[in-house]
Amino acid sequence: MTWWRVGTAGSSVGGERVTGRQEFVESSGSPASGSCRTLRGTWFLAAAAALAVPLHAAATDAHRHGGITVDDSALPVGPPGLAEPMLTSGGGMPADSKTKEDEGAFRLLCNYGKMSYDDPIVYPGQPGRAHLHTFFGNNSITAATTPANIRAPGSKSGCRGGAVNLSGYWVPSMVDTATRKPIAPKYILVYYKTGTGPWMRDWHRARKPLVMQPMPEGLVMIAGDASNANPAKAEAAFSCFTDAPGSGHRAMGPSIPACKPPEMVRMRIDFPQCWDGKNLNSADHRSHMAKPVEWHADPDGQWDPSHPFKCPSTHPVLLPLLSEIIDWPVLPEQDTARWRLSSDTYDTALPGGYSAHADWMNGWDEEIKTIWTRECMQKQRDCGSFNVGDGRGAIEFQGN
């Protein structure tokens, strides 16, 4: 018996429009045995004789549409996280800003949590509909998670600080196509920063600074494009990274590079930081957010080189810049040239990584979020690794 991934003309399989039955056919062992599953789509039992195309044509078409499969028989699982706040006094006050150009920053480590085919932003209430994702932060997230229930009692966080931050951070999973096995990352390093804030002014009050606001409760957003196959439009940066003293990055670019142990494959992606001030989500999960834009003249025609950026008039509210850095360790037997993201369903002759994207759902404790926005962002202080800005710091747990 063979299991087939079949799409019929005009239907939607895993979010992809199917133009002909033969274009989305791929074989595998029985999914009940936990063997290979397509990264997008649903498995249907079909007799080979019932297929509209010969077996060899099916394999060719699957390859043309990416042909990426993943062995999900033993998905790696991270530490469980904690359902309690993990803050302590004695963290020390961050140093005051010395110049108006100082960058405010607040960062924290989050353990790898889990992998699943859920995406509560793109496919809310539809478990198993998405490509394989790697989750950090709130380890209790499922397809049923919403901004209204993300802080439900008992939810566990793998981030430093515990349940004060039950936000969800997820990205497409990294897959070694040589073995079809997904790769567990070491961690995610999450930055909340002023970004271009110190160099911005209010659109409506040209000579007034633009005051950064806290992330609004209920906000969700996506950075990057899961359908992208163009390196010029890629929004993530990859590199080979070593955290040993004196080491750093090499082979930086929009695709997954060839890295060797003890290097790790590093991905960095930044979210937009200008909000329309009205919508907590949008149809494409992006349009309610925008990136800062350059401007070179005040309404009176005066150019101020110290403030060359602004939020667009359609998105006037400045929020912290959310930046995510994810590291995947490389083992001696692995060839990272064979690595692809679960969303890299474009031509396999091209390198992996162009479809890199990231999803975020706000799950912060409102009081703590307001404090670090005021003390670290608005006052442009470097609050280090989880110093919330008022003398309290995070307790490390479960390796983070």
Q: Is the pLDDT of residue 17 over 90?
A: no
Q: Is 233 helix (H, G, I), strand (E, B) or coil?
A: helix
How many angstroms separate the Cα of 143 from the Cα of each of 123, 124, 130, 291? 7, 5, 10, 28
Find all residues with CB under 8 Å of 143, minimum gap 6, and list them. Answer: 118, 119, 120, 123, 124, 125, 126, 127, 128, 129
DSSP bridge pairs for 114: 135
Q: Is the pTM of this model over 0.85?
A: no
The pLDDT assigned to 24 comes to: 29
- Please write the tens of the pLDDT for every residue from 195-221: 876 656 555 555 566 789 999 999 999
Residue 58 reports pLDDT greater than 50: no
Domain range summary for the chain, segments of one domain joined by +: 3-67, 87-394
Question: What digits encode the pLDDT tens for the residues 274-316?
Answer: 999 999 999 999 999 999 887 765 555 555 666 677 888 899 9
Q: Could you tell me the pLDDT band of residue 147, with boundaries at 50, 70 and 90?
A: very high
Q: What is the mean pLDDT of residues 260-274?
A: 96
Q: Return d(Cα 52, Cα 86) in angstroms, integer.
A: 58
- Assess whether pLDDT exceeds 70 at residue 59: no
**What pLDDT does residue 76 have?**
95
Distance CA 161, CA 389 (A): 13
Query: How would you class 167 by CB atoms within 10 Å of its CB: exposed for 0-12, middle for 13-18, buried for 19 or more?
Result: buried
Q: How many residues does the chain have?
A: 400
